[in-house]
Amino acid sequence: MARGLGKVLSALALDPPAPPPPHDDRASLAAILAALPEAVLAIDADDRIIKVNPPARALFPSLRVGAPLASHLRAPDVLDAVLDAREAGATTRTTWLERVPVERLFEISVAPVAGLDCGPLVLVYLHEISETRRFERMRVDFIANASHEMRTPLSSLLGFIETLQGPARNDETARAKFLSIMREQAQRMARLVDDLLSLSRIEQHLHLKPKSPVDLALVARHIVDTLTPLAHDDGVTLQLRAPEPVIVIGDRDELVRVAENLIENAIKYGASEAAEPMVEIEVQRVRGDGRLVVRDHGPGIAPEHIPRLTERFYRVDAGQSRAKGGTGLGLALVKHVVARHRGHIAIDSKLGEGSTFEVRLPLYSAHAEVDA
């Protein structure tokens, strides 16, 4: 035993320590890149891709290790950023708009890495910002649209106020006429502000699912009663078929806005222009859903407009909408309410044959069973 120990000690004392196993930089690099949440490519000194981490693979499934970077990213700005990073020994940044197969925008950082056994590398970070950019553009468009919608009635109000203070100061007839137009314009601004506030309230609560039982049949009946005088003025008949209660999970006030917008639109744009001036409203149960259908037999909507109708401020005919007191926000509100209720909206229309708007919402009973 003592002799054995002596051998070990003398071996330790005499022999130089065994060299560590050769270090494999590429294996370490792969492990580090795999742990990063961002999409990263490693490029060698010959501009070839030597590593693709999983997030980068998810963004670009066709990337091939060993292929030149230029064969995948045909973007002179990115290739210049790689060159500059290498020459300056510092991080460079650029953006890259990929156009095919779909448009995607990336923020790109290129960082040189020196001192590796496997030679100098550059790491290319790809951060997709298409969604951020899209939201930013939507926000800018939204503010521009909202301001434009406000400005028209506001300039008309200012114009009339100046006329009433000046040339029409003592004109009784003109005053009565102008005041009634001013009232209309002020009401239009009030409607716009109401719709904008409702939209922002619903957007704030989009992630919160409503919980109360609401009878969709009662909601539809209430709106039919409320809108009957308006329909009557336009010579339109409202026909409601809601033979039994249809209890959905909902927020009553929001569902009232949905029914009101759809039925009012059908009267304004559909039935009042139709040979058959009638709006049919149906409420029924269909499997796990409550279904509200509003159908008119009016001029219908051309197919290219249908996918855009629920965008804020989108109108088929802006002049007609404004003349009828529209704000261009009704269907956007409907879409948001339906999304918050985890429901669906479908629009079916043919030019010359009328339009059908269908909203489906989960039934309260289905909700109770799921929760049980």
Amino acid at 121: L
Confirm if 40 and 123 have CB atoms less than 8 A apart. Answer: yes
Size of the site for ligand ADP (CB under 6 A): 21
Give CA–CA dist 168/8, Å, rounded.
116
Beta bridge partners of 85: none
Confirm if 128 and 167 have CB atoms less than 8 A apart. Answer: no
Of 53, 92, 94, 327, the one binding ligand ADP (CB under 6 A) is 327
Confirm if 326 and 268 have CB atoms less than 8 A apart. Answer: yes
For residues 328 to 367, the per-residue mask of contacts with ligand ADP, x marking binding by CB under 6 A and - elsewhere, is xxxxx----------------------x------------
Report the relative pairing of strands 121-128 and 237-241 from DSSP bridges.
Answer: unpaired
- Comparing CB distances to ligand ADP, the nearer of 44 and 358 is 358
Confirm if 108 and 94 have CB atoms less than 8 A apart. Answer: yes
- Comparing CB distances to ligand ADP, the nearer of 118 and 316 is 316
| DSSP, residue by residue, 5-37 | HHHHHHHHHHSPPPPPPPP-HHHHHHHHHHH-S
Report the relative pairing of strands 237-241 and 278-286 from DSSP bridges.
Answer: parallel
Give CA–CA dist 141/132, Å, rounded.
14
Of 112, 290, 326, 362, the one binding ligand ADP (CB under 6 A) is 326
Of 53, 94, 185, 261, the one binding ligand ADP (CB under 6 A) is 261
- Comparing CB distances to ligand ADP, the nearer of 211 and 241 is 241
Work out how close the CB of 137 gets to ligand ADP at its nearest, in angstroms, rounded to a whole number: 20
Pick the closest to residue 124 from 46, 50, 27 (CA basis). Answer: 50
Work out how close the CB of 336 gets to ligand ADP at its nearest, in angstroms, rounded to a whole number: 11
- 226 in helix, strand or coil? helix
Tally Cβ neighbours within 10 Å of residue 61: 8
- Is 196 among the residues that bind ligand ADP (CB under 6 A)? no
Work out how close the CB of 249 gets to ligand ADP at its nearest, in angstroms, rounded to a whole number: 24
- Strands (DSSP E) contained in 133-246 are 212-215, 237-241
- Is 290 among the residues that bind ligand ADP (CB under 6 A)? no
Work out how close the CB of 196 gets to ligand ADP at its nearest, in angstroms, rounded to a whole number: 12
For residues 202 to 241, the per-residue mask of contacts with ligand ADP, x marking binding by CB under 6 A and - elsewhere, is ----------------------------------------
Give CA–CA dist 202/184, Å, rounded.
27
Give CA–CA dist 63/65, Å, rounded.
7
Which residue matches tokens 């989108």?
314
Give CA–CA dist 130/313, Å, rounded.
23
- Comparing CB distances to ligand ADP, the nearer of 192 and 214 is 192
From the list 73-81, 93-101, 116-124, 322-330, the region that binds ligand ADP by CB under 6 A is 322-330
What letter would DSSP give residue 58?
H
For residues 292 to 321, the per-residue mask of contacts with ligand ADP, x marking binding by CB under 6 A and - elsewhere, is ----x-x--x-------x-----xxx---x
- Comparing CB distances to ligand ADP, the nearer of 185 and 261 is 261
Give CA–CA dist 367/114, Å, rounded.
59
- Is 265 among the residues that bind ligand ADP (CB under 6 A)? yes
- Comparing CB distances to ligand ADP, the nearer of 266 and 363 is 266
- Comparing CB distances to ligand ADP, the nearer of 231 and 309 is 309
Site residues (CB under 6 A) for ligand ADP, limited to 97-136? none
- Comparing CB distances to ligand ADP, the nearer of 217 and 332 is 332
At 55, which helix (H) or strand (E)? helix 54-59
Of 249, 269, 290, 363, the one binding ligand ADP (CB under 6 A) is 269
- Comparing CB distances to ligand ADP, the nearer of 106 and 357 is 357
Contact footprint for ligand ADP (CB under 6 A)? 261, 265-266, 269-270, 296, 298, 301, 309, 315-317, 321, 326-332, 355
